[in-house]
Chain A
Amino acid sequence: MIPLSAYTAVSAVLFMTGLLGVLVRRNFIIVLMSVEMMLNAANINLVAFSHYLESMAGQLVALFVIAIAAGEAAVGLAIIIVVFRGKISTNVDEMNLLKW
């Protein structure tokens, strides 16, 4: 039987990796991918606790997290396309204006 702490450890490592990706990468799309990775780490935690504490609530919240990740990806990529049309770059350091 795999202990619950093993799942939380995997989830913590994935979350750390995603957080590091958000902080150090310069490409906006890869920053969004790192956010997806962090959401997945949270999902592992939710489902693991749902299994070990014998309650369905964790799986439901994980489903809602997936739905919200889908919305975030759609809106985030639309914003990237708009910015890319204005200036030919997806570097996060060059996006420092709300409007131009």
Chain B
Amino acid sequence: MMLVFFAYFALVSIASGVLTVSLRHPVHCALALLALLLHVSGLFILLNAEFLWAVQVIVYVGAILVLYLFVLMLMNLKTDERYFHPSALYFVGPAVLGGVYVLFLLLQSPFDGAKGTAPASAVLQDGDTYAVGIKMFSDHILQFEIVGIFLLGAIIGAIVLAKTPKPLDPKEERL
């Protein structure tokens, strides 16, 4: 059963990733990205990361993607006739070859390492949100504060950048 769900989420996320890169109209690309993000959040559920699933759906799909769609519709772009970079053909062949080689190596390698202190049974006992919260506010509180400052800076930067510049002529201001 897990395998069926994994195959579905993996295949659909890869397919919508390819569509995001290859579709012509930017709004269609954004909708393909929506499908990609939702299916990646499904992969998070399979990995016992319910809190990240919720964050992915709320922050990525609910906030970031809506911001992209908002800007796309604000600009009302015409679709370019040639929407790929002219040198695209030189990239695609080597990239596909390299990707197949990397996949071959990945599927062979037996990943392993030192086990940590949070086995799945312990996480499931109190819930993933509890485990993430305890870990974040005990060991990683400094990083949490840094991310908070970073987001504040990003908000202020975005407002300063996108503000309408003042007209140079004072007469124009009255109109």
Contact = CB atoms under 8 A, between A and B. Distances in A.
A33 B68 contact: yes
Contacts of B52: 43, 47, 59, 62-63, 66
Interface residues of A, number: 69
Interface in A15-54: 16-21, 23-27, 29-30, 32-34, 36-37, 40, 43-44, 47-54
A33 to B, nearest CB: 5
A57 interface: yes
A25 B103 contact: no
Secondary structure of the B contact surface, majority rule: helix
Interface of B: 2-3, 6, 10, 13-14, 17-18, 20-21, 26, 29-30, 33, 36-37, 40, 43-44, 46-49, 51-52, 55-56, 59-60, 63-64, 67-68, 71-72, 74-75, 77, 80, 82-85, 87-88, 91-92, 95, 98-99, 102-103, 106-111, 113-120, 123, 128, 131-132, 135-136, 140, 143, 147, 150-151, 153-155, 157-159, 161-162
Contact of B72 (A29, A40, A44, A51): A29
User: 6 tightest A-B contacts by CB?
Assistant: A55-B116, A71-B154, A21-B21, A24-B88, A78-B161, A78-B158
Contacts of A40: 36-37, 40, 60
Contacts of A12: 99, 102-103, 106
Contact of B44 (A47, A77, A81): A47
Nearest to B83: A26
Given A66-B59, A70-B64, A81-B162, A13 B40 contact: no
Given A18-B17, A24-B85, A56-B131, A75 B158 contact: yes
